[in-house]
Amino acid sequence: MNDGPLIVQSDKTLLLEIDHEQAPDCRKAVAPFAELERSPEHIHTYRLTPLGLWNARAAGHDAEQVIDTLLSYSRYAVPHALLIDIAETMARYGRLKLEKHPTHGLVLSSTDRPVLEEVLRAKKVQGMLGARLDDDTVAVHPSERGNLKQALLKLGWPAEDFAGYVDGEAHAIALDESNWKLRDYQRDAAESFWHGGSGVVVLPCGAGKTLVGAAAMAHAQATTLILVTNTVSARQWKDELVRRTSLTEDEIGEYSGSVKEIRPVTIATYQVMTTRRKGVYRHLELLDARDWGLIVYDEVHLLPAPIFRMTADLQARRRIGLTATLVREDGREGDVFSLIGPKRYDAPWKDIEAQGWIAPADCVEVRVTLPNSERLAYATAEPEERYRLASCTHHKIDVVRSVVAQHAGRPTLVIGQYLDQLDEVAAALDAPVIKGDTTVKERQRLFEAFRSGEVGLLVVSKVANFSIDLPSAEVAIQVSGSFGSRQEEAQRLGRLLRPGEGGKVARFYTVVSRDTVDADFAQNRQRFLAEQGYAYRIIDADDLGPVDNVG
């Protein structure tokens, strides 16, 4: 037994004592292969999963390095069965390879014939394969490259893809760093992606994922298709690319509900790409409109299912996914791994905060009690109605009014799920509101007014969760959300984390009705905050007064 900071348990959890002097080194050592699950004050919990271990293999780490890390830092003896499991799980990656064959095109080969025989007998795989070329090689229909990788991952035999990429149509793109400089972690992220060929970069909101995308485009020097969550985000991407690169406005097209431009760099929304007419995805022809050299997926954790299906057909194109969290509420992290690529770079939120690139956050949950009449209505309501009733209690408006008053003069967002609730809040605060039916032009006008300081208080629906750059925001008050979504919590907190002048501290409030499903869902959202190392305080609505002292 040594005095290491890590406790390795047979249930595949790793417990890291963060006050230990070796904790920072240990955290860096385990990050490539272990998934951080919780990070409250004293003990951080990591978990070993097949996907995490395969991500590590794809990044060039082998089982020997992983085992050596655990043995070096573990306080107690590491369970022998766990070490065997790690070695055998990691050894599964790469026993199957997708390669280019000089005469037969795409082939699946294996260094382990029984594994090949096993997968060839799987019904889901059989239709994707062609002729058996020899004992260790079978032809693959080129159009099935992505589907085959998906199927093999589900069988527990992830294939390593050596089939390469087409260069696509060349197009000169250079970063223009005359007035700014790419941060070290942004450069490292772009280079890690480029050397890997395809994959995902995980960075906190506010850490400049758009610039990582721009750096990847400068590596590719090719026509680029960028897929984003909404039209406002598309226009922000365009503005950033014009400002930060050699690209001109004429070289960048928008492909959205209102505009259909196809240019060397085209920015399309997920919504328009997944629009169906008579069962047909009409706009998927955009994928064949040019010989794209790079596909960029913004907010990869939100990819709709049809985008996964089309991505299966794009395996010959380089692909980069950008996200603040690989958590998907639908559990499709495996599809991200197999279709877009493994995680190529990951920087923890607190690390980026420590470097001063994102603001520290103070997270507060304010609990309100439903009055008896509302408690009775809640208790007798149908289960599917209870969250709305608990979320939309009028008592929350009083809390919001109080918090806004205490932070008067600081740019503040009030965020919620239910439109009638947001209308009431906006009326009570005499503040503008942005919802799904707000026109893109009006959204842009209000967002710009907020950035410039002309508007200091904005009420927004979940349209502001994604890809909206509001660097001036300092306070957010969440009144309702999507049933405890951790990814939503990441996006909403991220609206505040752009660093400001004078070491600003972001204030993130969640107003919750106690003794209801609203409080239950809030606990799930808090998991995200804990995972990222943010402590949160719980206070009663009646005790809001002292909050004034925090800024």
Burial class (CB in 10 A: 0-12, 13-18, 19+), 436: exposed
Query: Mind spelling out the 3-state secondary structure of 146-201?
Result: HHHHHHHHHCCCCCEECCCCCCCCECCCCECCCCCCCCHHHHHHHHHHHHHCCEEE
Residue type at position 81: A
pLDDT above 60 for 517: yes
* Mean pLDDT, all residues of the chain: 87
Burial class (CB in 10 A: 0-12, 13-18, 19+), 458: buried
The DSSP code for 249 is G
**Winning range, highest mean pLDDT, from 223-227, 273-277, 475-479:** 223-227
Q: State both tokens at 347.
A: 């920087």
Residue 225 has phi, psi (to 5 degrees) of -105, 125
pLDDT above 50 for 547: no
Contacts of residue 467, defined as CB under 8 A and 6 or more positions apart, other chains included, come to 228, 229, 230, 232, 233, 236, 298, 299
pLDDT above 50 for 9: yes
Residue 312: which pLDDT band, with cuts at 50, 70 and 90? Answer: confident
What is the dihedral sign for C-alpha 379, 382, 384, 389?
A: negative
Question: Buried b vs exposed e over 293-328: b needs ≥16 C-beta within 10 Å?
Answer: bbbbbbbbbbbeeebbbbbbbbbebbbbbbbbbbbb
**Could you report the per-residue pLDDT of 315-331, keeping only the tens digit for each?**
889 999 998 877 676 77
Residue 426: predicted pLDDT: 94
Q: State both tokens at 226.
A: 């960028």
**Could you report the per-residue pLDDT of 259-271, keeping only the tens digit for each?**
899 999 999 998 8
Coil vs helix vs strand at 119: helix
Residue 497: predicted pLDDT: 63
User: Nearest-CA neighbor of 263 among 296, 223, 233, 229?
Assistant: 223
Segment 281-295 shows an average pLDDT of: 83
Portion of the chain with pLDDT greater than 70, in percent: 90
Coil vs helix vs strand at 290: coil
